[in-house]
Amino acid sequence: MNKAAITVEPICAFNDNYIWLIGASNGLAYIVDPGDAQPVLDTLAARKLTLGGILLTHWHPDHTGGVKELKRLTGCVVWGPYNDAIEGIDHRVTEGDVVSLPGLTLDIFTVPGHTLDHIAYCGDGLLFCGDTLFVGGCGRVFEGTFPMMRASLEKLRSLPPETRVFCAHEYTEANLRFAKAADPDNPALHAHAETCQGLRRDGHPTVPSTIATEAATNPFLRWDNNALAQGLFAAGRCQSTTPDEVFRGLRTWKDTF
Q: What is the pLDDT of residue 26?
A: 83
Residue 225 backbone phi and psi in degrees, to 5: -80, 125
Yes or no: say if 59 and 115 are a contact pair by the CB < 8 Å rule. Answer: yes
58 is catalytic: yes
Q: How far is CA 222 from CA 1, 77, 131, 181, in A?
A: 39, 38, 18, 14
Q: What is the pLDDT of residues 189-210, one digit of tens each?
A: 999 999 999 999 999 999 999 9
Q: What is the pTM of this model?
A: 0.96
Given 33, 36, 62, 183, which residue is catalytic?
62
Distance CA 202, CA 42 (A): 24
Given 36, 117, 118, 169, which residue is catalytic?
169
Q: How far is CA 108 from CA 98, 100, 186, in A?
A: 6, 11, 32
Given 33, 114, 183, 192, which residue is catalytic?
114
Instruction: With a cut of 50, say whether residue 177 has pLDDT above it.
Output: yes
Residue 49 backbone phi and psi in degrees, to 5: -110, 150
Q: What is the pLDDT of residue 5?
A: 73
169 is catalytic: yes
Given 33, 36, 60, 192, which residue is catalytic?
60
Q: What is the mean pLDDT of the chain?
A: 96
190 is catalytic: no
Transcribe 145-196 into DSSP letters. Answer: -HHHHHHHHHHHHTS-TT-EEEESB--HHHHHHHHHHHSTT-HHHHHHHHHH
pLDDT-based confidence at 6, cuts 50/70/90?
A: confident
Which helix (H) or strand (E) segment is 18 a member of?
strand 17-23
Q: What is the pLDDT of residues 89-112, one digit of tens each?
A: 999 999 999 999 988 999 999 999
Instruction: With a cut of 50, say whether residue 255 has pLDDT above it.
Output: yes
CATH of domain 3-218: 3.60.15.10
**What residue ranges do the domains of the chain occupy?**
3-218
Given 33, 63, 117, 192, which residue is catalytic?
63
CA-nearest of 124, 117, 123 to 132 is 117
Q: What is the pLDDT of residue 24?
A: 73
Given 36, 42, 118, 131, which residue is catalytic?
131
131 is catalytic: yes
Distance CA 71, CA 79 (A): 12
91 is catalytic: no
